[in-house]
Structures are given as C-alpha cells and as structure tokens.
Copies of this chain bind each other. A is one copy, B any other.
C-alpha cells in the first residue's frame, strides 16, 4: 500500500474509533450487551445466530441482530423467524462493517428494549479486524472445515477477538480436524482467548456459548 493510502486509512480508522466509542457509551447506557461476530465466508455465523436467537427468545431474553452482507437480505429473513428484531446491512461491495453503518442501522431502535445485540459482520477474516463497532465482545468463528492453520494465517482477527467459537464440530471427524492443533494455534496468537466448541446442527456446546453470552461483563466507569 502506498504511503498516501496508509495515511488516509489511518484517518478513516481514527474517525471510526471515535464513532465506535460513542456507540459503546450508548450501548452501555441502554444496558444492552453487544457482540461482533466475525469469520470467513460460510463459517456458520448465521446458523449459530439462528439457534442462539431462538434459544434467547424462548428463555425470555430480548434480542436483536444486525446482519451484514455485500448483497442480499437472505440472512435477515432467516434470522427474523426467531422472533428477534433484525435488520440487514447491505454494504454493496464494502468488505467490512464500520461504526457509521451500525449507527445508521440502529436508528429508531429503543436500545434499552434489548438485553443482547448481535452484529454479524461481513464474511472476511481480514478487514473487519480493524473496525471497532462499539461491541462489548468480539467473537471469531472458525469452522472445522477451514483447517487448523487459519489463526496463524489471519492472526489480526483472532488476536483481536475475546472468544473463538469452533463451529460445525459435527463434521470434525469427516474433516480429520485436529482440535489440539487448532487450539494451540489460537493460543499462539492470543494466549487468553476463550475457546468454545459448537455445532449449530446438533446443539453441541450451545449451553457453554449461552453462558458466555450472558455472563456479567465489565462496563465503562
């Protein structure tokens, strides 16, 4: 990248950080816990979210989701079936969500009406790492079909995540997935990362995942 592009990028990121800090203050004042879900395309963000929203709604939690894609509103339609409040963010070619898109798409929402808000990022293991969305927690999904080496190849995003959710564990045997190697690679780029093994298909790990979502979190003073 040229020096000029890097300078421009820095100033854009500075602006995003300011807006994300404002969002974080608003979210915390409203008492809503916000999760930013990141992963490569097809790692299973929507499937995990579908099952998560259904469980939360059934348990009487008030949940909302913003779901990002370059094109189509398929995911919003899939997630709405849970009864949660959902909006699609179409980026029309942009490779990540930014704080401004979040700010625009929560317009008109009473944030205090929600316990939990999920932001499903664009499927991309690189660019979303650089954009704070005001979340409490960033969660990186890694499907067993992608291979154990991905944390080493995309260290930025796994380093920036509080938790790694291993998805599609029902396919682990078929893919000859080496759990120990994957966990070792995750810890190599982020020693304190929380690792949760799940399958949205069989329900494996969903209780541990729900406990993670609902545990008390530190807030700004």
Contact = CB atoms under 8 A, between A and B. Distances in A.
Interface of A: 1-2, 4-5, 8-9, 12, 40-42, 69-72, 74, 93-95, 122-127, 143, 145-147, 149-150, 152-156, 168, 171, 174-175
A204 to B, nearest CB: 15
A171 B145 contact: yes
Contacts of A74: 149, 152-153
Contact of A122 (B2, B72, B126, B168): B126
A152 B69 CA distance: 10
Interface of A (DSSP majority class) = loop
Contacts of A93: 126, 156
Contacts of A143: 42, 145
A123 B123 contact: no
Contacts of A9: 5
Nearest to A168: B145
Contacts of A71: 152-155
Given A69-B153, A152-B72, A153-B70, A42 B12 contact: no
B8 A5 contact: yes
A140 B153 CA distance: 20
17 contacts: A1-B94, A4-B8, A5-B8, A5-B12, A8-B8, A41-B125, A42-B143, A70-B126, A71-B153, A71-B155, A72-B153, A93-B156, A95-B124, A124-B126, A127-B127, A171-B171, A171-B174
Contacts of A2: 12
Nearest to A69: B153
Contacts of A5: 8-9, 12
Contact of A40 (B4, B70, B123): B123
A205 B124 CA distance: 28
A41 B74 CA distance: 22
